Amino acid sequence: MTFDRFTPNPHFDLSSFLSTKKKALGTILQEADLVSAYQIQSALQEQVAHPNLRIGEILVQRDLIKPETADFFVQDWSNVVMQPNKNALGYYLRQAAILNSGQIEVILAVQRDSGIRFGTIAVFQGFLKSTTLDFFLTNLFPEELHVSPFINMNSRRKPLSD
């Protein structure tokens, strides 16, 4: 029997991961700026009256989040954070039902023409809050946090000054 040697991800922060594992859904949704503290408090009060309902179910019933959003953060989030090889940002935003396929197509079309980063376009188009983008970048792509949001990713494009 042989074992592959484990190579740690240099950007993986174990303490951050462990704190993510312990966080309640309401806390994660607040950190992602998908719901407010007031909305969570109100849902928790309703949960006292209806203990058979989960916080995610209450938020969905109130049309504050989509069922897929609750499912993503409950079932997948901690594993996604821990993954060394991440998919593209748009993939996770689609999995969490924060962006839909049509919005992603618009963003990708603008990105092809401009070379501007995906998240920046999503924010400028009004599809995503900048705080939600920061939450995903902080947790999934911390190495990208300090890269200019306006970086021209199309290195083959002709400079504008010519």
Domain ranges in the chain? 13-84, 86-162
pLDDT value at position 147?
81
Q: Which two tokens stand for residue 48?
A: 């006292």
pLDDT at 6 over 60: no
Question: How large is the average pLDDT for residues 65-69?
Answer: 98
Higher pLDDT, 46 or 16: 46
Report how far residue 136's alpha carbon sits from residue 145's, in angstroms, rounded to the nearest whole number: 10
Is the distance from CB of 149 to CB of 50 less than 8 angstroms?
no
Query: pLDDT of 138-158, one tens digit each?
Result: 999 998 888 877 766 655 444
Neighbours of 56 (CB within 10 A): 20
